Amino acid sequence: MKILVPIKRVVDYNVKVRPKADESGVDLNNVKMAINPFCEIAVEEAVRLKEAGSATEIIAVTVGAENTQEQLRTALALGADRAILVETDLEVEPLGISKVLKAIVEKESPNLIIMGKQAIDGDNNQTGQMLAALMNYPQATFASELKIEGEKAVVTREVDGGLQTISINLPAVVTSDLRLNEPRYASLPNIMKAKQKPLEVIKSDDLGVDLNPRISTLKVSPPPEREAGIIVESVDQLVEKLKNEAKVIS
């Protein structure tokens, strides 16, 4: 079984992001970049399936500029067998990424696509669902457990009411939630081996996919600072301040 794992390059989750001086976007100069945490969980799950004998090959794929090869090499160090970079300098939106992934899926014919449920920068939670719709594949989102049983995937999903377990036919799209697993660290030997693993670069124009954005960013600015709270001495004082200062009650 072949598994395709789309990943995304994002600002490391430990870094506090800041807007550019002209508020045209996020300042990425000298900022540590990493694999999106949900994508890292997807890579780990694919590796575990391969270690369990359910998969034979893992392909990591991403869409972005040349520097995203760094995150693909990380995925290779974590256990992916080969990687594909669809190179573009455009800021690609979820629909564009989904169309690119559709082209890659048609080229590679994977049995399973595992991907993060969302990225921590855009926070859209759209790409997996769009890809499944474009491919007319079954989908299981927000997965906290995944088992392969023959030609089916049994997925436990995190839903508002608790947990839901479903069985879907392969090929299918599964998006990972936080509790699916705990990703491993890449060992030094595996980091060195990753440098020798194949990484294919495909120009986005060669796929014939329109990646031009449909949404334009007008301004990126930090949220307003919240005023410090105060401690009141009694309920009467609280009511008085809510009524006369905050004017939220009458």
Question: Which superfamily does 2-224 belong to?
Answer: HUPs (3.40.50.620)
Q: Please name the helix (run of DSSP H) or strand (run of DSSP E) that holds residue 148, with its range, or none.
A: strand 139-149
State the pTM of this model. 0.87
Residues 236-247 pLDDT 10s: 999 988 888 888
- Token code pair at residue 36: 């999106």
Give the amino acid at 187.
S
More confident residue, 230 or 149: 149
Task: Provide the pLDDT for residue 161.
Answer: 87
Residues 208-229 pLDDT 10s: 898 988 888 899 988 888 888 8
Neighbour tally for 151: CB within 10 Å: 10
In this predicted structure, the answer to whether residue 250 has a pLDDT above a threshold of 80 is no
**Percent share of the chain, pLDDT over 70:** 100
Residues 81-136 pLDDT 10s: 999 999 999 889 999 999 999 999 999 999 999 999 999 998 999 999 999 999 99
User: What is the C-alpha to C-alpha distance for residues 79 and 30, in angstroms, rounded to an integer?
Assistant: 28
Question: What is the DSSP annotation of 187-223?
Answer: PHHHHHHHTTS-EEEEEGGGGT-----S-------PP
Domain parsing of the chain, residue ranges: 2-224
